A and B are shown apart, each in its own frame.
Chain A
Amino acid sequence: MEDKKIFIRGNEAVCYGALSAGARCYFGYPITPQSEIPEMMSKAMPEAGGSFVQAESELAAASMLMGAAAAGVRAFTSSSSPGVSLMQECISYMSGSQLPAVIVNMNRGGPGLGDIGSAQGDYYQATRGGGHGDYRTLTLAPSGCQEAHDMMIRAFDLAFKYRNPVLVLGDGVVGTMKEPVRLWTPSQINSHAAASWQVSGAAGREKHVLKSLYLLDGVLAAHNRKLQEKFAAMRAETEAECVETADASLVVVAYGSIGRIAKSAVRLLRSQGLKVGLVRPITLYPFPDKVLQDLAEHGKKFLTIEHNCGQMVDDVRLAIRGYADSDFHGHMPGAVPAMDDFIGPIEEAARRTA
């Protein structure tokens, strides 16, 4: 098989992945650091026979996404933190109405408008649903351009498998860096029988109703129970990368771009004899708690590193409770960390827990 790679940004990799996954609608609004996505989609989506709309706002883009999803079309949108906040109403409606869609967030600094640099302050928003009500979105966290491409293909498949919005949570580093990427197309696109629920004209068949409003006594409770069962079933999709954890006494937990920067620090400290390993969650929801719990049961100590003031560390602590606790090192949004910034905190955590 030919292994031809092209040299592209993470934002472009997202677009190639979406097209390979059969996406035929894109709605969005420009915002740094992801504007290359609407830029590329404005040309590539019509060329692929699909539709591109630059919406008047992120709220409108998310509403268009919901409409396309209801029609059973593979559709996605993308934005960065403040724009994704504006989309939350529709994401809640889509989850409540069981509609499949993919939302890309190239996380930037916050709160509010924050800055245009890379950050991980949207972890809570991404993994707790983000909008109102008891719902969750499957959340995938790429650490580079190849993963950004591959995860788009996976995201569409998962969205249709579970009939639920799927988030791809990158950040400014993942979106703007360039790496060689091998493009590929899945052998088949599984729409998981969208015909059984999509709104496509009801002539000659029972009408399909897509809604999130349930007013009759007990109906919403039953609907919520069904949704909760679905969110529990998503646990089958849990994934994490483990690096040198087997004989480690300290395990660093970090995701996305911070995960790969931490990997460099872990490798360097390993070469100096420090028994340290890394767990990089690839799915943030469902969170890979079993992986961490197993390590905690084996007596490992933990340090969570994030590009925020401490969010994923909550999930790490929940995963390992009863066996261990996790230290935390947060790199403040507003500046991008390098490997050197993590060496001291890892050494210190190793000393403290020795």
Chain B
Amino acid sequence: MSLYSSAIIAGFGGQGIMLIGNLLAYAAMRQGLNVTFMPVYGVEMRGGTSSCTVVFSDEEIGSPIIRHPQGVIVLNQPSLERFQPRVEKDGFIIINSSLAQANQADTGRLRCFAIPANDLAEKLGNARLLNMVALGAYFKALGSLLPLESAENCLEQVSPGQSQSMLSLNAEALRAGYAEAKAL
């Protein structure tokens, strides 16, 4: 069986969705995999809806656009309502329980994980770390498919210049999300 994984990451514009999408894609590339990253571009702005799709595989990737992903990260309530029904059967969902209602998780159909990403980020000292916390939880759900270290090792490459001083804090947030993700 070949290795193949698809993910949609969704939330408000400004939550750092494109950054963790890039980080996930970059980590997969560094593992020698094929990867596609597809942003939903256009009229997005801070506070609007934002999402991206990441596919990685050890085989050639056909479609970079995925309607029914194997996994999703939802960082707010509207994204939970919109994307949860689209997750492939036996797929998984990471719910930011700080901003979305984890009790709406479709545990009968999916593997569900809750992570209070905003709260954990604030505990770590910077509310903006919520995206990294959520991505850490995603790596937990991925299991052996991709190690968390692969993301930690790529932080420097994908972080914009002004965030380079936060590399170790970002890595800490990734690990916190990985450790604190709760299976529902």
Contact = CB atoms under 8 A, between A and B. Distances in A.
A309 B36 CA distance: 27
B91 to A, nearest CB: 15
A186 B37 CA distance: 27
Contacts of B166: none
B35 A340 contact: no
B5 to A, nearest CB: 14
Contact of A264 (B34, B37, B62, B68): B62
B139 interface: no
B42 interface: yes
A173 B67 contact: no
A179 B41 contact: no
A339 interface: yes
A180 interface: yes
A178 B36 contact: yes
User: For the side of the interface on A, what is the size category?
Assistant: 20 to 34
Contacts of A246: none
Interface in A1-51: 5, 7, 32-33
B182 to A, nearest CB: 31
Contact of B38 (A176, A262, A340, A341): A176
A242 interface: no
Interface of A: 5, 7, 32-33, 116-117, 144, 172-173, 176-180, 257, 260-265, 267, 336-341
28 contacts: A5-B29, A7-B26, A116-B41, A116-B43, A144-B64, A172-B41, A173-B64, A173-B65, A177-B36, A177-B37, A178-B22, A179-B36, A179-B37, A179-B64, A260-B61, A260-B63, A260-B64, A261-B63, A264-B63, A336-B65, A337-B65, A338-B63, A339-B62, A339-B63, A339-B65, A339-B66, A339-B67, A340-B67
Interface of B: 22, 25-26, 29, 34-39, 41-43, 61-68
